[in-house]
Each structure stands twice: as C-alpha cells, then as structure tokens.
Chain A
C-alpha cells in the first residue's frame, strides 16, 4: 500500500520568505509526527498530532514554526520568515495509533535550503 508522502521533495527559498511543507500520512493512521534532520545529525522532534487531541508542539524551535492537520489526515508545516539555520530535511512520520509500542513510518522528507 501507499506509504507516507511528502511534498515538495526539495525546496529552495530566500531568507525571509515563508514556506509550506506538506505531509500525507498512511491512510487510517491516527498519529502524525514532524521531525527535522540537519546535515549529519539525528532526528529532532518538532510536533505531533494524535486524533482530535491538541497537538504536542513542545519541539517547535520558535514561533516562526507552526503546523496544522486538517480532517485528521494531511498536515502542513509552515515556516515563516525563514532563516538560513532552518535549512534541513523535514521528515514526516505516521503511526496507526499513539503509544510507546507504535511503529512510526517515515516519509522521504523535504529538503529545505534557505539562501
């Protein structure tokens, strides 16, 4: 079946511009996560959504970052007034349920370059 998809696969933008990154989770998955991976680094948690519960935004690095999930499916991560340090790969993952035993399935990521 279809996995997690993300778009665009690559994004080049100028400093100060806003960008939107999209994630389509696996159908039927109730939990959705966003991570950021800087060059040669591990995965940094940003935010997760679980069903109708309020999202856990504890990993968002600044108020320039926001995310929403519409209809319990597609999610959009928005970065306003991008900075060069925002350059990274943004990975989305989804899981069937939410809990420490749930497997997270990752999308291919969006490579963001801020010039």
Chain B
C-alpha cells in the first residue's frame, strides 16, 4: 500500500526550514528518502531502519517513528539546491527490498 506524503508541495525562501512527512498504514521496517530534480534520476538521501533511529546529512535529517509508522524529513536553512521533488520509499518486510514510493512532495526554494 502506497505511503502518503504531506504536504504535496511547499514553497520556501532561502534559509527557511521545512518538514516533509511520510505515513503508512502498515508496519514498516525501513524508509528511504530520495530527491529528484526535474528531468533527472532520483538521488538517494538516507535510509532509516525500524528502531526510531534519526539520521542526518548536512542540514537534512530524518526520523522514523515506529509507533506512528511515520517518517519525517527535516530540511533546515534551506538552499536553492534543495529544490526538487522528495520521495519516500517504504519496505515493511525484514527480508524485503521492494520499495513502495509515496506520491512525492515538490519543494521550491526561492531566493
């Protein structure tokens, strides 16, 4: 079942923060985050595994709330280069690897 991302779109000014959520009705084992710029391939950001582990990558970090079956991606002090569509991909099986992706969140960072 496809995870639900929110918001569907967000517009920021440079330096502002944003949070993108990814929710599932099924128990999850892992959540993968990708960013895709228009006309380009999705680029891997990070993976979060069951256990509520939080990860960080420069000014982009994410958390995984196992109880809520929700992952949140945090973008702080946004830069123009952060613009793109963010996708979460979820896997519910410990031995699985087939990701089911959300519909995406379009992020636009303006000067």
Which residues of A come within 8 Å of B, CB atoms? Answer: 4, 31, 33, 35, 41-45, 48, 50, 56, 58-59, 91, 95, 98-109
A102 touches B97 (CB 8 A): yes
Q: How far is the CA of A37 from the CA of B103 in the complex (A)?
A: 10
Q: Which residue of B lies closest to A91 (CB)?
A: B41
- We find that the number of chain B residues with CB closer than 8 angstroms to chain A is 27
For A31, the chain B residues whose CB sits under 8 A away are: 97
Q: What distance in Å separates the Cβ of A104 from its nearest Cβ neighbour in chain B?
A: 7
Q: Return chain B residues, CB-CB under 8 Å to A42.
A: 2, 87, 101-104
Partner of A104, one of B29, B32, B49, B94: B32
B96 and A107 contacting across the interface, CB-CB below 8 Å: no
Q: How far is the CB of B4 from chain A (nearest CB, A)?
A: 11
- Contact partner of B44 (CB less than 8 A), chosen from A50, A58, A103, A108, is A103
- Give the 3 A-B CB pairs with smallest separation, nearest first: A100-B30, A106-B41, A100-B91
